[in-house]
Structure 1
Amino acid sequence: MARRKKGRDVHGWIVVDKPAGPTSTAVVNKVKWAFNANKAGHAGTLDPEATGVLAIALGEATKTIPYISDALKAYRFSVRFGQATNTDDAEGTVIHQSDARPSDAAILEALKPFRGDIMQVPPKFSAVKVDGQRAYKLAREDDDFELSARPLYVDEIELFDRPDADHCVIDMVCGKGGYVRSIARDLGEALGCYGHVEWLRRTWSGPWDAEDGVTLATVDELARTEALDDLLRPVDEGLGDLPELRATADGAVKLRNGNPGQVFPGDAEYGDEVWVSDNGQPVAIGVFRSGEVHPSRVFNL
């Protein structure tokens, strides 16, 4: 006998303006419970003390998570100069100190090498795996290990504010896999004064701004009600960067069965990855070839 699903079939995105404190996983679990959903996931982890956009997919929307995870994301964060910590943020223990403080001009100059395609070493207190174990676990046990540098695309990084000599506020837009804590650490090292992240906010992610988000208090207040369902965003909001093609009636049937299906002409070229709609609902994601889409993911909506 097949196991009965826990929860209900509910599909779409909800954008949470995450508060400081809970982990991303805890927020996902809270949202999943509030919707009584059988499936949920998020598109991009935020550190517990970070705030801002945490986009959570429910049901069939989880199939679009890779397209949001790969999208550009924007952060605003404060760098505290004069101190390095073992976690590269304010939660850690201070391990190095300096009385030096950079000028605004020095900060502007030091930011230049952080633009474009860069290599970045993740913080030791991170979820990166080392020989099958999470780096943060090894770090807590004081194991001696090194992490390899990883590529990161930084679209923009600018000095937003300089409230005092000890701090600066940075705006950054970057691709997948970026660690803001590493940026703060490396900026402090480049300026010869050390540095760590004091606070961090994800201001937008893909198509969603932090101002679009709902609070966890609202999720709690509206849990298990139709009013919470009204906050759901369509599944296809997670597919904004892919061209949309409309299926023919016969093509929609074939695509839903996992077979290549015919689509109407649209803004796509041979070999493009696209998503296909039928009567406004997403049917499949796939590759467009000679009037047909060959599906890689099929939606059950």
Structure 2
Amino acid sequence: MRSSAPDGATEFDSSPAFRYAAALNTQIGHSMGRKRKGRDISGWLVVDKPAGMTSTAVVNKVRWAFDAKKAGHAGTLDPEATGVLAIALGEATKTVPYITDDLKCYEFTARLGQATNTDDAEGEVISQSDLRPSDEQIKDALGPFVGDIMQVPPKFSAVKIDGQRAYKLARDGEDVTIEARPLWVEELVMTDRPDADHVTLEMTCGKGGYVRSIARDLGAALGCFGHVLKLRRIWSGPFEVKDGLTFDEIEKLARTPELDTHLRPLEEALAGLPEVKCTAESVTRLRNGNPAMVIAHGVDYGDEAWASFEGQAVAVGVFKAGELHPNRVFVLPEV
């Protein structure tokens, strides 16, 4: 299944549990006027995503497993990619942008000597070369891909062109032209060279990076073509793959109290923001969307910060003259 396919259920999992989840989500989609069923449960679950599933299919399964009212993910992974997929439940969905915007690290293997129309192994080979660069040539070529770069997303991607997804236009045989977009690449290093045809790389980058584009453009820079063969996200913000539950583990623990113990607090997603503290009186004001006095240290006027009360997140907002002006409010248990 194409990495750029619309998010949704796939044929990867035909178990009764998965069919139930799909049916439940369809029912929810057709009952907009009804109150969404499920538990008011909040937090983050780190999933070690398997190959062959869309990110949204994983979200659907996790939401079913927790019987949660609301769920979402932070940063789509291609169906054939594996690794960290951070799933937010309940109030944690309000912190998704902070994980999406954070740095992420990918380990991937590029196949040298071939270019495909999708920039990965799922596509058709469109160009080939017998040229194979040396290790030193590869390392020397990585420099221009580090720092602030401009990157053209793959033609088979979810980028919109005149209101339509690029992958749909590409599948219809239309000539797709996508404008280059800025990307911050913190690091790109070669970690292995299994043989002349393959190179393993590790990239740390910001929001919006396409690993497939890196493999394609590196192959072009080396004059030998290239595409992604395997891709694994090993961490995303504070979440690491070693802490992720596998799909089999999620199925085994579904609808059990033990699964709840794997939830991580929504506050972990706010680690990149300064924390300010508030009183019980301020909690009420903030939860009603009003500015409130907070206790702050090392926070400057105009900084974005998050307010806590007894260790729990209350709101995210802008700090001004001793007050936090909220723009995101978290619904807490009675305090």
Bucket of the pairwise TM-score, normalised by the shorter protein: over 0.9
Instruction: Give the equivalent residue in structure 1 for 2:78.
Output: 47
Alignment partner of 1:28 is 2:59: yes
- Cα displacement (A) at 1:192: 0.3
Confirm or deny: 8 A CA contact 1:285 1:297 kept in the other structure.
yes
Instruction: Give the equivalent residue in structure 2 for 1:146.
Output: 177
Q: How many residues of Structure 1 are paired with residues of Structure 2 in the alignment?
A: 300
Instruction: Give the equivalent residue in structure 2 for 1:214.
Output: 245
- Secondary structure of 2:142's aligned partner: helix
- Cα displacement (A) at 1:146: 0.6
Q: Which range moves more in the overlay, 204-213 or 4-13?
A: 4-13
Alignment partner of 1:14 is 2:45: yes
Alignment partner of 1:97 is 2:142: no
- Cα displacement (A) at 1:266: 2.1
Instruction: Give the equivalent residue in structure 2 for 1:109.
Output: 140
Instruction: Give the equivalent residue in structure 2 for 1:257.
Output: 288
Confirm or deny: 8 A CA contact 1:259 1:294 kept in the other structure.
yes
Match for 2:206: what amino acid? G
- 1:199-248 deviation line (CA, Å, top 9, x unaligned): 00001000011101101111111111111111110011111100111102
- Cα displacement (A) at 1:119: 0.4
RMSD: 0.9
* Counterpart among 217, 237, 241 of residue 186 in structure 1: 217
1-side partners of 2:146 and 2:313: how far apart? 36
2-side partners of 1:135 and 1:199: how far apart? 22
Confirm or deny: 8 A CA contact 1:244 1:267 kept in the other structure.
no
1-side partners of 2:157 and 2:118: how far apart? 9
- Cα displacement (A) at 1:158: 0.6
Instruction: Give the equivalent residue in structure 2 for 1:80.
Output: 111
Match for 1:28: what amino acid? V
- 1:79-132 deviation line (CA, Å, top 9, x unaligned): 100000011001111010000000111101110000000000000111111111
2-side partners of 1:268 and 1:15: how far apart? 30
Report the identity percentage: 67
Q: Which runs of 5+ in 1 are unaligned?
A: none
Alignment partner of 1:238 is 2:269: yes
Alignment partner of 1:269 is 2:300: yes
Q: Which range moves more in the overlay, 91-100 or 261-270?
A: 261-270
Q: Which runs of 5+ in 2 are unaligned?
A: 1-32
- Cα displacement (A) at 1:250: 1.8
Matches within 5 A, 1:164-183: 164-183=195-214
2-side partners of 1:237 and 1:146: how far apart? 39
1-side partners of 2:156 and 2:245: how far apart? 29
Instruction: Give the equivalent residue in structure 1 for 2:101.
Output: 70
- Secondary structure of 1:106's aligned partner: helix
- Secondary structure of 2:232's aligned partner: strand
Confirm or deny: 8 A CA contact 1:250 1:262 kept in the other structure.
no
Match for 2:53: what amino acid? P
Confirm or deny: 8 A CA contact 2:305 2:317 kept in the other structure.
yes
The runs of at least 4 consecutive aligned structure 1 residues that moved more than 4 Å come to none
- Cα displacement (A) at 1:138: 1.1
- 1:142-179 deviation line (CA, Å, top 9, x unaligned): 11121110000000001111111001100110000000
- Cα displacement (A) at 1:270: 1.1
* TM-score normalised to structure 1 length: 0.98
